[in-house]
């Protein structure tokens, strides 16, 4: 019964969000149909293939962390590591939302420089790192650091506005892709380890 109530609550909330977005869109004179427009199909099947792969990889950490947090709360509700997993889900989920909906581009069109968006996210990530530094030190943090380092190198290349479509795109895209590979591997490993430890130390076993 609890699962049915949760499903009803989620569907009701989702319905209210959809109605709100339709009303919001209509207020600005646009057709509500634009909310459900399919993404543009690329002219070539290979176009954007690795970018889409990067976006799929961005979905791995928040999904894995959210599922793991729900499972850990069931196994050991008072475990201190649960908060680390929860905030990891929030941080990586924010990054996913930005990548899918291109929030930094929307803010740029609204007059907010991309640098400000990057600084805000960097400061948030730094605060997360400082708050859980002891926990992070007990994990394979080299994967996380290498992922963040590669991401910032990609951001640096993007900020240089190099000319040309070939080398400059590769210099940004390759580090960005491998940054998310390492970050996804890190959170997968961390969540797997946390679940194993919780099950092994659970009094219910």
Kindly state the percentage of the chain with pLDDT values over 90: 57
Quick one: pLDDT at residue 34?
Answer: 85
Asked if residue 205 has pLDDT above 70, the reply is: no
Q: 194 in a domain, yes or no?
A: yes
Q: 128 in a domain, yes or no?
A: yes
Domain of 113 in residue numbering reads as 48-201
pLDDT band at 1 (very low <50, low <70, confident <90, very high): low
Q: 38 in a domain, yes or no?
A: no
Q: 174 in a domain, yes or no?
A: yes
Mean pLDDT, residues 124-143 taken together: 95
Q: 112 in a domain, yes or no?
A: yes
Rounded distance, CA 197 to CA 70, Å? 15
Q: 28 in a domain, yes or no?
A: no
Q: How many domains does the chain have?
A: 1
pLDDT in tens, 8-62: 999 999 999 999 999 888 887 778 788 888 877 778 888 889 999 999 999 999 9
- Give the CA angle between residues 159, 163, 164 to the nearest 5°: 125
Lowest mean pLDDT among 60-64, 156-160, 172-176: 156-160
Q: 25 in a domain, yes or no?
A: no
Mean pLDDT, residues 60-86 taken together: 91
Quick one: pLDDT at residue 168?
Answer: 82
Q: 179 in a domain, yes or no?
A: yes
């Amino acid at each position: 019964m609890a699962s049915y109530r949760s499903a009803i609550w989620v569907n009701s909330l989702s319905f209210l969000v959809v109605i709100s977005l339709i009303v919001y869109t209509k207020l600005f004179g646009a057709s509500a149909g634009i909310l459900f427009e399919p993404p543009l199909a690329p002219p070539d099947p290979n176009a954007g293939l690795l970018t889409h792969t990067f976006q799929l990889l961005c979905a791995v950490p928040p999904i894995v962390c959210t599922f793991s947090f729900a499972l850990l709360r069931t196994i050991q509700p008072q475990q201190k590591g649960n908060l680390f997993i929860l905030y990891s889900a929030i941080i990586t989920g924010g990054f996913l939302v930005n990548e899918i909906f291109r929030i930094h581009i929307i803010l740029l069109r609204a007059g907010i420089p991309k640098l400000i968006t990057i600084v805000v996210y960097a400061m948030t990530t730094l605060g997360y790192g400082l708050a859980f530094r002891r926990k992070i030190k007990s994990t394979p943090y080299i994967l996380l650091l290498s992922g963040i380092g590669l991401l910032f190198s990609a951001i640096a290349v993007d900020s240089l506005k190099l000319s040309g479509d070939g080398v400059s795109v590769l210099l940004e895209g390759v580090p960005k892709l491998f940054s998310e590979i390492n970050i996804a591997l890190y959170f997968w490993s961390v969540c797997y380890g946390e679940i194993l430890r919780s099950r092994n130390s659970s009094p219910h076993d």
